[in-house]
Amino acid sequence: MRHFTMVAAGFAVAAAGTAAIAAEAPTSMQFRTGLTVGQADTGSSHRTGSSICYSSLGLGTSPFENFQGGGFSHGSTPVLDDILMNKPAGTRIDEITFSVVSFNDDGTTSGTSTTPGGDVTTTANVALFNANPDGTPNFAAPKGSIAVTGLVISSFTVNLFTIDVKDLNIVKKDEMMWAGIFFTDTTGPANADLSPLNDGIGQGIFQQSTKGFSDDLFSFGGGLNWFGGFPANPWANFGWEFRSVPTPGAMAIFGLAGLAATRRRR
């Protein structure tokens, strides 16, 4: 298992206005297909949290069940997905899984080569935000932010990483929130196509959420965007999953309730 460390970090976003008018994804970023599945949940076991609050990964035996075979490369530009959880207000978020992709080629033809350029190491800056009344992310009200360092990503793969966020004390409200990532400190081998820096790194594209809800929209620069096509092709969902871990006291209460119900049925 590869290891990474997590440290506190800010999430500085240069919002280019907050207009809620949706626009197709900018051409300066890359939507590319042909990715293979890489590491599954490096950092901890998949779904150690017993209560899934939101998932676009799928709920089957594979954590990549909903993966659409492509990714969105945005590097140092923050890109966020809208998240509406199916758990009641007051639920604490204990674990987050997110996806990372690498389009690092061998540098022979920048941006178009599919010859693997080797592993890269990057930092994923992850943050959660409440929504503005117009539905865009409220960058003035972050719910929590962390930098996950030392992520090692192989070329042309989608990877999942799980982090423990209990110490951030993130509590869900009955409203939509936004989950975002941007990448910094990306390094790689001498032949890594990292020019401009970090732009070969992004997020995997997944199908519609199977727990909770996410619209066919994502945000970058403060506005709302989509990938295009009808029906959605691809769906503008990135690889996120949010889980809670019931406290021992709550689990004991659930156990007593179940025991009481069993006795009543006798």
Structure tokens at 240: 């996120």
Q: What is the pTM of this model?
A: 0.82
Residue 32: closest CA among 145, 147, 112: 112
Residue-level pLDDT at 155: 84
Query: How many Å separate Cα 69 from the centre of its chain?
Result: 16
Per-residue pLDDT of the chain (266 residues; tens, 9 = 90+): 344 555 655 555 444 333 445 566 655 557 777 788 888 766 555 566 678 999 999 888 788 999 988 898 888 889 999 999 999 889 999 999 999 998 876 655 555 566 666 788 899 999 999 888 888 888 887 888 999 999 998 888 899 999 988 888 888 888 889 999 999 888 877 655 555 555 678 999 999 999 999 999 899 867 788 887 656 678 899 999 999 987 654 444 444 444 454 455 55
Q: Taking the CB of residue 122, how many other CB atoms lie within 10 A of it?
A: 26
> Residues with Cβ < 8 Å from 142, sequence gap 6 or more?
11, 127, 128, 129
Identify which of 37, 147, 32, 51 has the alpha carbon closest to the alpha carbon of residue 99.
Answer: 37
What is d(CA 260, CA 243) in angstroms, rounded to the nearest whole number? 28
**pLDDT score at 209:** 93
Measured at the CA of 91, the angle between CA 126 and CA 41, to 5 degrees, comes to 45
Evaluate whether 117 touches 106 at the Cβ level (below 8 Å). Answer: yes
Q: Which residue has the tokens 């693997």?
A: 116
Distance, CA of 79 to CA of 202 (rounded, Å)? 9
Neighbours of 11 (CB within 10 A): 20
Q: How far is 34 from 49, CA to CA, in rounded Å?
A: 31
Q: What is the pLDDT of residue 37?
A: 87
The pLDDT score that the predictor gives to residue 254 is 41
* Contact (CB, 8 A) for 3 and 44: no
Nearest residue to 241 via CA among 93, 31, 142? 93
Tell me which H or E stretch contains 252.
helix 248-265
